A and B are shown apart, each in its own frame.
Chain A
Amino acid sequence: MQCAVLEIRDLTYRIGERSILREVSLEAREGETVVLLGRSGCGKTTLLKCVNGLLPPASGEIRFQGRTLSEWDPISLRRRIGYVIQDAGLFPHWTVAANIGLVPKLEKWEPGAIAARVDLLLDTVGLPPAQFARRHPHELSGGQKQRVGIARALAAEPPLLLLDEPFAALDPITRYELQRQFVSLLRATASGSGKAALFVTHDVREALLLATRIVLLKDGMIDVMASPGEFLSARTEEARAFLSGLDTPQHESAPGF
């Protein structure tokens, strides 16, 4: 039995009187990719930001590697959790190599070790170091930026990755390419070092392709929690609304489910 990297119990988040998240409980084990699926405003991004302490929950408990968030120093917590967002959020004044080496540098790795790690990661995400290490973010395409964002998140070998619609802004072909590479990347790292990932998306195809478990959120509550196979036959109204999108062959990223 693999141990849970992340455990969330009865998490509630409020803005004023309004509950954004209501008593959400879930866990992510080593090697698992839990996809948070839902419409805009369902609370999926809020949930992600509670996990690395960017937002303070009103009640409930989050445990990372067995310790509650209050037992963690927020800085060292965040350095152990990889984070990827839609716009990549790369530092425009730093080279690709410096961006990827950020957390190792904060953690005071040896420069040689950082350089070796950066080269390895660039190869892993399909960007030859000789060609890309010294470039600046404005010299990259959207897909390349997102690859660098993923490499940056993986740099210090975090046991948990948080990804907030990392592929949403990409064109369909690049998106599909990155989704497939991401699957093999996670499988590879999962077998080696046991990463868990929490992946936010509103795209049901992406969820079915990437997830080991799908968590469908509706109005801040868990509507369905199921494996991708089970999710296909989920009966709730919200699940069927999402699944009905599969019938219309609308874009190239259809993973063939």
Chain B
Amino acid sequence: MNPRLASEIVSLTLEHLWLVLIAIGVAALIAIPAAVALTRRAAIRRWMLGLANILQTVPSLALFGFLLPLPFIGGIGRHTAIIALCLYALLPILRNTLVGVLGVDPAVRESAVAMGMTGNQILWQVELPLAVPAILAGLRIATVTTIGTATVAAAIGAGGLGVFIFRGIATVDTATILAGAVPAAIMALAADEGLEWIEKRLSPA
């Protein structure tokens, strides 16, 4: 393999990873607190989940296209891609956090209240620790899908491994497509395995 291609693979892989990490990080910072707030508000929970569901169904290429003409958040480049990836990552994290917190055994929650724990104490000492495996599963699903979706980000000039794939398609060059697809697939597998390992380690009993 020629050294120029090798170094391009490395730099685009890092760029790709960076896109994914920022998107997942921002999505988690939004979705986890939002989910916690929604566990206390059954009435709007359905609406918010519905909204997140709808976002998920918009085809990724179309979503990138929709964002392009928007002022401030749109335009060619990395930040538009991060916003789009972030929107996709919201749903799995939101849904899994909800499932995790709402899935806490009612007897456990009832005794927490009856023992005189405050709402905050119940959240931080009981509900969130017990929801950790579900939240991590959500992060894992979000990360794996985002690694795939992020290849499309190259279409709006955000870089990443999609650059190889689009270049390969344009030049009908399978080797170039593989130079983008294989590292992306390896990254997805590694993220899946790694996060699953952490999930198992942190599971309470």
Identify A88's interface contact among B107, B115, B118, CB under 8 A. B107
Q: Is B70 an interface residue (CB 8 A)?
A: no
Q: Is A187 an interface residue (CB 8 A)?
A: no
A-B contact count (CB 8 A): 63
A101-118 near B? 1/0 per residue, CB < 8 Å: 011001000000000000
Which residues of chain A come closer than 8 Å to B204, judged between CB atoms? Answer: 92-93, 136
Q: Could you tell me the distance in whole angstroms from the C-beta of A203 to the nearest C-beta in chain B?
A: 20
Q: Is A85 an interface residue (CB 8 A)?
A: yes
Q: Is A126 an interface residue (CB 8 A)?
A: no
Q: Is the CB of A93 within 8 A of B130?
A: yes
B113-128 near A? 1/0 per residue, CB < 8 Å: 1111110010000100
Which residues of chain B come closer than 8 Å to A77, judged between CB atoms? Answer: 116
CA of A91 to CA of B115 in the docked complex: distance in angstroms?
12
The residues of A with any CB-CB pair to B shorter than 8 Å are: 52, 54, 74-79, 81, 83, 85-93, 102-103, 106, 136-138, 152, 162
CA of A88 to CA of B113 in the docked complex: distance in angstroms?
13
Q: Is the CB of B118 within 8 A of A92?
A: no
Q: Is the interface of A mostly helix, strand, loop or mixed?
A: mixed
Which residues of chain B come closer than 8 Å to A83, judged between CB atoms? Answer: 111, 114-115
Q: Is B168 an interface residue (CB 8 A)?
A: no
Q: Is B37 an interface residue (CB 8 A)?
A: no
Q: Is B58 an interface residue (CB 8 A)?
A: no
Which residues of chain A come closer than 8 Å to B117, judged between CB atoms? Answer: 75, 102, 106
CA of A78 to CA of B119 in the docked complex: distance in angstroms?
13
The residues of B with any CB-CB pair to A shorter than 8 Å are: 105, 107-108, 110-118, 121, 126, 129-130, 204-205
Q: Is the CB of B205 within 8 A of A85?
A: no
Q: Is the CB of B114 within 8 A of A54?
A: yes
Q: Give 20 A-B pairs besides A78-B115, A85-B107, A86-B107 with Cβ atoms closer than 8 angstroms.
A: A54-B113, A74-B116, A75-B116, A75-B117, A78-B113, A78-B114, A79-B115, A83-B114, A85-B111, A85-B114, A89-B108, A89-B111, A91-B108, A93-B130, A93-B205, A103-B116, A136-B205, A138-B205, A152-B115, A162-B114
Which residues of chain A come closer than 8 Å to B130, judged between CB atoms? Answer: 92-93
Q: Is the CB of A92 within 8 A of B108?
A: yes
Q: Quick one: closest B residue to A74, CB to CB?
A: B116
CA of A86 to CA of B114 in the docked complex: distance in angstroms?
14
Query: Known contacts A106-B121, A136-B205, A138-B205: does B107 contact A87 (CB below 8 Å)?
Result: yes
14 intermolecular pairs with C-beta atoms under 8 Å apart: A54-B110, A54-B113, A75-B116, A75-B117, A75-B118, A86-B107, A88-B107, A91-B112, A93-B129, A93-B205, A103-B116, A106-B116, A106-B121, A136-B205
Q: Could you tell me the distance in whole angstroms from the C-beta of B88 to the nearest C-beta in chain A?
A: 31
Q: Is the CB of A79 within 8 A of B108?
A: no
CA of A93 to CA of B108 in the docked complex: distance in angstroms?
11
